[in-house]
Amino acid sequence: MTTTTKITMPVVSFRRISTPFEQEGKKIYLAVLKAKDLPKDLEEWRGINPRDPNKSSGVAKRIADSLQNQPECFLFRNRGLTLLSESVSFNNESNILAVEFSDKTMHGLLDGGHTYAVIREAFDSLAEDEKADTNLNNAYVKLEILEGITSKDETTEIVGARNTSTQVKDQSLANLSQHFDIIKEILKNEPYANRIAYKETEFNEDGSRKDIDVKEILSYLICFDREGFGDNNHPVIAYSGKSSVLKYADAEDNRQRLQKYLPLLPKILVLRDEIYEQMPATWNDIGGKFGALEGVNRKKQDSVELPFKNTTTSYAIPSSFIYPILASFRALVEVTDEGCSWKTSPVSFFSKHKGELVRRLIEQALVFRNPNKLGKEKTVWQSCYDYVVLTSLKLGL
């Protein structure tokens, strides 16, 4: 006897998409729901997707970054989930969607396994008292449901087609290949060197996917472009998005100029992780409650990896908290025609002056109460930069 499982969920919108195949019983539905309402029961219906989601992969990390840092944009940046179902019903009074499954070889989560895993982990890792106020509640996700697929062969073909997406390598990546050769040489002895992906899809010899995107590294490098950004013009573009980073780094003048900044990368990357690691305790020492900040998520254990320092932390911190402080340290870069050097150790400088930098950043975070707006607000970048400039002048650097 076939047992049917009904999974219900509240949705904010639902509609059936008309197709020429409805007379055959094949229907397509689209729904939008809050990410927090994505049912845990779907975990039992993931068998038709041949790929287990790798939560440490580059794909998963990019999804997690989008969810954590810009949850209000998640709906538009993520392609969502696709289900194969036996039947679908919707109560338009309660806005409850019901999806029925009966055969684990034909029904369940067809596509979006990484998205599902990232969303569930993000919410399941929250303590009960954090769930009501988390910024993640601003995230929504799209759900596509296919009904009426009755052949196992057709199911297999649909699953295969939906899970074969080939990304075309951005031309900018090819143009930046000389950059990448230098980066590879500079970072070759670092413990994370083999984890950096210089192409859209890149794997290690053991088959694992490289999980540090070179575009992320370029974004940190751009923060230190003293010639491209002045005392009143800040590299907000580094935070804005990976496509903006590529466009900036690929512009011919910028590409040539940035090459002399590349030797600074090892310390830039360590500084990035140092800021990330020290920020929670620094704010707590000042008297604040870091875990209560909008956009910050406290994990149950040290599960957030800081690859450039080879350490971990229990806080998932929006990148908008990191970039303005990181970029302020370009004031410590000495630039000549021959190259760039540090006026003093940026990590040591941060260690001595982190209290004021963190205070300036987080006081603004408390005002905006929106991590995405914080990261794009030039006055936040200006405040951090001004402090490093004035302090370095007092120290005679």
* Distance, CA of 57 to CA of 180 (rounded, Å): 21
Backbone torsions φ then ψ of 117, nearest 5 degrees = -65, -40
Domain ranges of the chain: 5-162, 171-394
* Contact of 221 with 251, CB cutoff 8 Å: no
Residue bearing tokens 């205070």 = 359
- What is the CA angle 73-75-77, rounded to 5? 70
d(CA 116, CA 16): 22
Query: Distance (Å, rounded) from C-alpha 266 to C-alpha 221?
Result: 10
Per-residue pLDDT in tens (0 to 9) along the chain, 397 residues: 467 899 999 999 999 999 888 888 899 999 999 999 999 999 899 887 755 566 666 678 888 888 988 899 999 999 999 999 999 999 999 999 999 999 888 899 988 888 999 999 999 888 888 888 888 999 999 999 999 988 777 777 777 677 654 333 444 555 567 778 899 999 999 999 999 988 766 777 777 778 898 999 999 999 999 999 999 999 999 998 777 888 898 888 898 899 999 999 999 999 999 999 999 999 999 999 999 999 898 876 778 899 999 999 999 999 999 999 999 999 999 999 889 999 999 999 999 999 999 999 999 999 998 898 999 999 999 999 999 999 999 999 8
DSSP letter at 18 equals P
Q: Is 54 in contact with 60 (CB distance < 8 Å)?
A: yes
Q: Are strands 27-34 and 140-147 parallel, antiparallel or unpaired?
A: antiparallel
Return the structure tokens found at 385.
Answer: 């930069």
Go through 199-214 and write b for each residue having 16 or more CB atoms within 10 A of its CB, e for each that does not. eeeeeeeeeebbbbbb
Q: Residue written as tokens 């179902």?
A: 85
Strand (E) or helix (H) holding 390: helix 378-394
In three state form, how does the secondary structure of 269-319 look? Answer: HHHHHHHHHHHHHHHHHHCCCHHHCCCCEECCCCCEEECCCCEEECEECCH
pLDDT of residue 262: 95
